[in-house]
């Protein structure tokens, strides 16, 4: 099972990276390919790594724009590719098989609002797009401790501490190898459980000790390292670090808490479990 970073910037696209997006894929003859989050700006670099038509599913950890907003672009690609679009914007019935989208409840309504634009005074408003994302996507709700089989992978979701409903995601392959993605979370018991024994723990570290004192939003490097130690993970990859945070400081904080391998995520870097 291979994990590839697509977008690693925290909270908004940075000068060197799109916002959150990661690809998990198996190495089978017919691989399973899952995108974890599709944040602002991520659809562009994703297409350099994989054909979006080959995706088995998209899994959204939560519905903040830096984790989901490029779903609107993926919708456009699904619906208006000339291979499928017949030229009538009110009829997209000939599109390909819908892509499963696993997400917190309300994702369909949230993303539809993001995509839809009122026609206003358009003289051709009657022929406008119906903004029905279910043409392209099948929305499936995540829940705490829910488990979903996607191809040859099992994805489990764990409710974590963040100001909106957000899930850490634990992905297990048929050999029992585990990749855990924290999504956005502060230190909490559910995150430790989600990461327990993971071969690769992809963990956000948006905050910096002493500078950022708010709790229940993001991890610091120190708290990410402490979660990694308590969860007994094999390796830690720090991500979701915004441009105003010093990556070296965050890594140093983590290293004082976790003695295993630590890396800083960057676009198109990959790890194998």
CA 188 – CA 266 distance, rounded (Å): 25
Alpha helices in 145-271 (DSSP H): 189-195, 221-231, 247-255
Mean residue pLDDT across the chain: 93
- Tell me phi and psi for residue 133, to 5 degrees: -70, -15
The least confident of 19-23, 38-42, 79-83, 178-182 is: 79-83
Residue 124: inside a domain, yes or no?
A: no
Predicted confidence (pLDDT) per residue in 43-56, tens digit: 999 999 999 999 99
Residue 158: inside a domain, yes or no?
A: yes
pLDDT at residue 84 greater than cutoff 70:
no
Residue 120: inside a domain, yes or no?
A: no
Residue 44: inside a domain, yes or no?
A: yes
Whole domain around residue 173: which residue ranges?
A: 2-115+134-272
Confidence label for 85 from pLDDT (cuts 50, 70 and 90):
low
What CATH number is given to the structural domain containing 176?
Answer: 3.60.15.10
Residue 129: inside a domain, yes or no?
A: no
Residue 123: inside a domain, yes or no?
A: no
Query: Is 191 exposed, middle or buried (CB count within 10 Å of its CB: 0-12, 13-18, 19+)?
Result: buried
Domain count within the chain: 1
pTM score, whole prediction: 0.94
CA 235 – CA 248 distance, rounded (Å): 17
Predicted confidence (pLDDT) per residue in 217-242, tens digit: 999 999 999 999 999 999 999 999 99
Residue 222: inside a domain, yes or no?
A: yes
Predicted confidence (pLDDT) per residue in 120-133, tens digit: 888 887 766 668 89
């Amino acid at each position: 099972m291979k994990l590839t970073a697509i977008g690693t910037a925290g909270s908004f696209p940075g000068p060197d990276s799109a916002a959150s997006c990661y690809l998990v894929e198996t190495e089978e003859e017919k691989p399973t390919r899952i995108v974890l989050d599709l944040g602002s700006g991520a659809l562009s670099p994703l297409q350099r790594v994989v054909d979006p038509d080959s995706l088995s599913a998209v899994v959204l950890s939560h519905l903040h724009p830096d984790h989901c907003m490029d779903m609107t672009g993926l919708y456009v690609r699904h619906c208006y590719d000339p291979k499928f679009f017949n030229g009538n914007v009110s009829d997209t019935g000939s599109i390909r098989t819908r892509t499963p989208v696993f997400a917190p409840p309300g994702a369909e309504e949230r993303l539809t609002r993001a995509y839809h634009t009122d026609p206003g005074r358009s003289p051709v408003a009657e022929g406008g797009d119906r903004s029905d994302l279910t043409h392209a996507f099948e929305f499936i709700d995540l829940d705490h401790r829910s488990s979903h089989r996607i191809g040859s992978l099992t994805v489990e979701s764990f409710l974590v501490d963040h100001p909106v409903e957000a899930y850490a995601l634990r992905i297990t392959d048929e050999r029992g190898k585990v990749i855990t993605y924290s999504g956005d979370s502060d230190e909490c018991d559910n995150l430790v459980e989600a990461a327990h024994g993971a071969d690769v723990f992809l963990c956000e570290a948006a905050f910096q000790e002493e500078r950022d004192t708010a709790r229940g939003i993001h991890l610091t490097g120190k708290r990410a390292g402490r979660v990694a130690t308590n969860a007994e993970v094999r390796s830690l990859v720090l991500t979701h670090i915004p441009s105003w945070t010093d990556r070296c400081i965050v890594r140093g904080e983590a290293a004082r808490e976790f003695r295993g391998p630590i890396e800083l995520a960057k676009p198109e870097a990959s790890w194998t479990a």
